[in-house]
Structure 1
Amino acid sequence: MTLFRTLYRSEGLLEAPTPMPDGSLVFANTTMGGVYRLTGDTAELVVPRRRGIGGIAVHEAGGFVVSGRDLAYARDTDVHSLLAPDGAAGLNDLTVASDGSVVVGVLRHYPTKGEPAGPTEVLRLDAAGDVTTVASDLLWPNGMGFSPDGETLYVAEYAASRIRAVRGSRSDIFASAPRGECDGLAVDAEGGVWVALGSGAGVARFTPDGQLSEVLDIPEAFVSSVAFGSGGLFVTTIGAVLFADVGIEGLPRPLARVPVS
């Protein structure tokens, strides 16, 4: 049985766990606002106020690329927009490709207003500042990550409780949630795909061929995201940051290299 220990508790929906090279963890409080750096049991505010963040990436110039009402670059109190698709309700989770491109899911409905999710897209912002569409038929794209060879992008479809595998122009169903929904996602060094199960109060791991490998139970009301770092798995939930040694290393996420000025 995998035992998770609680690193931090706070009101609000905690999201986007992002391990840092110094062993600290950056995460967002998506409902209360702000990006925080957790060192030991102390959380320091590093980006104030901003709400709705579903994804964070570390930029090679320092600072962070964050989602929310748009895709933005944040460093201390300087926050400026990088990408704001026409008609989008916001931008959700994100990941970084091996070339430093940022891949991010677009929201075209307002979940807090009870609006149903319709088909929407995943976009890629590259180092030249160009934007391309990676996939365009996803129902509430959420967590995402690349396979070890970089050829497959896994995207959690929250509204469909499943994971899609995007390879070139193909977008296939990779796996379905054993319970709950598919929220934040991470890929391990063996090619296994880990996904937070939302209201399913757990984390599931799928093998590289899409078979359910295990489900880790987490006694929290809602499990929002996962990330590998410091020899184990970080998990965010409503109100908590958790950690456990799961016996597998994760794939390191490259630094973002998109233009920020």
Structure 2
Amino acid sequence: MSAPEILVDGLAFGESPRWHDGRLWLADWGAGEVLTVDAAGRTEVVARVDGLPICFDWLPDGRLLLVAGSAGRLLRREPDGALRTHADLAALVPHPWNEVVTDARGNAYVNTIGFDFPGGEFRPGLVALVAPDGGVRPVADDLAFPNGMALTPDGGTLIVAESYAGRLTAFDVAADGTLGGRRVWAAVPDSAPDGICLDATGAVWYGDVPNRCAVRVAEGGRVLDRIELDRGCFACALGGPDGRTLHLVTTQWSPAALSGGPRTGQVRTLRAPAPAAG
């Protein structure tokens, strides 16, 4: 593959990239913003959120769901742009919440690492199911820093990156949204998988911050591709007109980046060997 090109530069702390409605969307945690990016790298702020981390996905009716992590709330963006509380996550776990992914039935899966980061003492995290009516219940626990999540196109499998365990863990998704059949989807020793995305061959791309790379891995753990970078890769997303543009969100990691410190965040792009799943 060719070397990745810079699409966006000067972010405080980019995260949670998604391709949606013909555009790249991402969160700038250091600025408390959700942005869209066009093909020329021009950005537009579409929402401002208090309470890091900020991650997001969409309900089947097109409304945006946003995690206001430290506030412990899942927010819903109405058609007029107003943000309403969709679910109270803090009532289940007081620690910051992290990633979210939605399914075709209007369920949302949201995870929490289970401790305050950075600086807190490690504790296992969990995944909670948020029903369309806003009800919240845990559906998986004992996860070692759960991070990026992805649902297979049929909605039957949820894959979770466990950053502190060096593995991608899969769950079967039942008709009622609960999770079972837990298994190691891919062991990736000496890696810290962060944000992930699925491609049409069934492989997973994951960002790796401490190793400053992005990796494509098959189920079972075979490494298919690896992209070396000059700073930590926090997440990746496939998109573009044909789904084969890989977007890598990178930052020189430091706690100061969370509060808008040195703006070293970038989005880099390159042609992927396979398009996005689904």
Quickly name the TM-score band, shorter chain normalised: 0.7 to 0.9
Return the alpha-carbon distance in structure 2 between the equivalents of residues 134 and 188 of structure 1: 25
Change (3 A) 1:150 1:120: same
Following TM superposition, by how much is the alpha carbon of 1:246 offset from its aligned partner in structure 2, in angstroms? Answer: 0.7
Following TM superposition, by how much is the alpha carbon of 1:135 offset from its aligned partner in structure 2, in angstroms? Answer: 0.9
Return the alpha-carbon distance in structure 1 between the equivalents of residues 36 and 152 of structure 2: 27
Q: Would you say the 8 A contact 2:167–2:189 is kept in 1? A: no
Q: Would you say the 8 A contact 1:204–1:215 is kept in 2? A: yes
Q: Would you say the 8 A contact 1:30–1:51 is kept in 2? A: no
Q: Would you say the 8 A contact 1:148–1:189 is kept in 2? A: no
Return the alpha-carbon distance in structure 2 between the equivalents of residues 107 and 179 of structure 1: 19
Counterpart code for 2:207: A
| SS of structure 2 residue aligned to 1:66 | strand
Q: Which residue of 2 aligns with 1:131?
A: 136
Does residue 79 in structure 1 map to residue 75 in structure 2? Answer: no
Change (3 A) 1:147 1:186: same
Return the alpha-carbon distance in structure 2 between the equivalents of residues 179 and 5 of structure 1: 27
Q: TM-score, normalised by structure 2?
A: 0.81
Query: Aligned match of 2:212 in 179, 201, 207?
Result: 201
Following TM superposition, by how much is the alpha carbon of 1:108 offset from its aligned partner in structure 2, in angstroms? Answer: 2.4
Q: Which residue of 1 aligns with 2:126?
A: 121
Deviates more, 1:52-61 or 1:183-192: 52-61
Q: Which residue of 2 aligns with 1:234?
A: 247
Return the alpha-carbon distance in structure 1 between the equivalents of residues 239 and 55 of structure 2: 16
Following TM superposition, by how much is the alpha carbon of 1:100 offset from its aligned partner in structure 2, in angstroms? Answer: 3.0
Residues 200-219 of structure 1: CA deviation (Å, up to 9, x unaligned): 11111121333222222222
Counterpart code for 1:129: G
Q: Which residue of 2 aligns with 1:244?
A: 270
Return the alpha-carbon distance in structure 1 between the equivalents of residues 104 and 221 of structure 2: 23
Percent of aligned pairs with the same residue? 24
Return the alpha-carbon distance in structure 2 between the equivalents of residues 96 and 59 of structure 1: 7
Return the alpha-carbon distance in structure 2 between the equivalents of residues 81 and 89 of structure 1: 18
Q: Would you say the 8 A contact 2:16–2:26 is kept in 1? A: yes
Return the alpha-carbon distance in structure 2 between the equivalents of residues 171 and 8 of structure 1: 37
Q: Would you say the 8 A contact 1:164–1:173 is kept in 2? A: yes
Change (3 A) 1:138 1:144: same
Q: Would you say the 8 A contact 2:58–2:102 is kept in 1? A: no
Q: TM-score, normalised by structure 1?
A: 0.86
Does residue 38 in structure 1 map to residue 37 in structure 2? Answer: yes
Q: Would you say the 8 A contact 2:163–2:192 is kept in 1? A: yes
